Structure formats: C-alpha cells, structure tokens
Structure 1
Amino acid sequence: MVYMAMLTSIVCALGFAPSVPNPLNPTVPITAQTLGVMLAGGLLGAKRGAGSMLVFLAIVAVGAPVLSGGRGGLSAFVAPTAGYLWSFPLSALMIGFFTERFWNNLTFLKAILINVCGGIILVYAIGSPVLSFVTEMDIRAAFLSNVAYLPGDFMKAVIAAYIAVKMKRMKPIIEQDKTFIA
C-alpha cells in the first residue's frame, strides 16, 4: 500500500511540472504525468500499478488540482483530456502485466518496448477517440495530434524502463509478493 501511495504521489507531483502546449492540439498539453503511469506499472506490477492510478483518478475527481494547469474535479473526466486520464489505470495494468510476465529476463530494451506499447500506444488509442468525440475533431486529426507527444513520450518510456530495470536489481518490489505474478 505504501508503494501504491508513493507512485500515486509521484503522478500528482508530475502534474505540477510545467506543461508544454501541443502545437497540433492546444486543448491537450504535453505533460510529464505519463512517466508516473509507466513507473507505476513497471515498478508495482499490474494490480498495484492500476490501483495506484485509480487512487490518482479519485484524487482528481474530488477536486485536487493535480493535473497540469492546476486542474482537478469531475469536469476533467469529460474534458478533451478525459480519454488520456481514463487510460492511466489501463496503461499501468498493461505495463505491469507484461513486466511481470518478463520479470525473470526483463531487459532494458524489453522494458522500453513494454512502456511504448502500454504507456504510449494504449494511451493514444484511448485518448484520441475521446478527444475527437469531445472536441468534434476529425478522428484522424485527433490521432495525428499525438505526433507532438512522441519525442517526450519516448523519452519518458526510456526513463521509466531504466528506473524499472535498476529497481529490479536493487529492490524488486514485484518479486516480493508472488501473488501478483501468475
């Protein structure tokens, strides 16, 4: 539970990092929070990682200003960024699931690939259709607007992979509780 709280607080803290306007879509800024989502899955595993992101969404729902620009509250769940938020627990679940499956032979490159699939592709796959629906933007334009996120998201995937692999060697959180590994 302490680890879940720690990762939840990291995602909250990353919300205070300055966001960068997306030149292809100014309604959805570039933020650092997906780094925390990738870390949650990669360090905590599927269940705990997803759980920590559900707690984060609950914190947002009660109005804590932990999203970029000091946003929070229920309105965030119907805003243009809603799909990206909704993807956080699923992303952490997917990253954690595959991290657990490859745990015994997890390499830096495998961890990057897991983060790219779960932390970038899945987030875009959920966020873009919601963005399109909420803003009445063409679905292709919504997916194309993600291009501006790619360099930063790839760097976040690399950073999260590096930290997960290093933490595995130092203090394997996932390995400590075999009930989370099938």
Structure 2
Amino acid sequence: MANVVVFSQSGTLKGKIVDKDTKEPIPFANIVLENGGTLAGGATSDFDGNYIIKPITPGTYTLKATFVGYKGVLVNGMIINADQIRFYDIDMESTVETLETFVVTEYAIPLISKDNTVSGGHVTAEEIAKMPNRDANAIATSVGGVFSEDGERGNVRGARSDQTVMYIDGIRV
C-alpha cells in the first residue's frame, strides 16, 4: 500500500472593502488580480463587503478594486505565497460625479410629412389578411387619399383613374 502526499501550490487573497469615511461595507465591488496585464483572478464582494480570491498561483500581482461612485483602488506589488492566506482590506473613497441631465420626451408621428411630395402608400400582407375584401382596388382605397366609387378603379386625390398606377409585389397591375 502506498501513501501519497499532495501539497497545495496556490495561495488565497481575502479581505473586506469598506467606505473610507463611514467604514460601512461596500457590497458588490469588483476585485481583480492581474499579473503583467493578464487577468489572474477576481471576485465580487458580498453583502458584508468580504471578498475571497482562490486559488492563486504564487507570484507578484496588481490588485484593482472598483465600484460605481467610488475612486478605483490600485495596489502594485501584491505578493501571494503558496499555502498562505494573504489578508488585504481595502478602503474606497467616494466620489461625486455630476451626470448630464436629459430631457425625456415622447416621439410624436407628424401629421404631415414635409419630405413626402408624392401620393401613395403601401399595405403589408398582415394588413391585407385582416381586411374583409382582398380585391386590389378595394385594398388601394384603404390608403389615404385614394377614392373609389362603386368598385371602380380608384383615383388618387382627384386625378383621373388612368393616371393611377398600382404595383403588387413589385409588378405593375
């Protein structure tokens, strides 16, 4: 029978993030460990401001802590040793930022389109499916400005019916 002994080759970083002035814990702050610009580990603080990052390969790291409304904290030269827990509490300083003011309005569709200089319109397949009459002339009269009397071919804004053109699926009818 053989006995195998296994040694851990990683370290742990634990700590608490608090407000510098009030000493209140800061929940949900982001803590990141980087090694040469490469992400090596990270965590988010809990409701009590506590965080833990493990496992961490032994080495020298840069610690970054961020949270909205607080100045970011950057700690260079954080040394993590194998089989050890490094404790590091972070005090974050609150900042006051003036945000840009927005005026919120509801968009209103204009009654008259200044850019539309021609008469006409289009009817979608969904709109046609909801109509009781699917005759091309009847559908054309559903577009604003089109008039048809007794099932005749419609006219647009008083123009003669021979001056009106209809297209169905891009084909002139």
Whether the TM-score (by the shorter chain) exceeds 0.5 is no
Q: Name which structure has the greater RCO, CA cutoff 8 Å, separation 6+.
A: 1
TM-score (norm 1): 0.22
Look at both structures and tell me which one has the larger radius of gyration over its CA atoms: 2
Q: Decide which structure has greater strand share.
A: 2
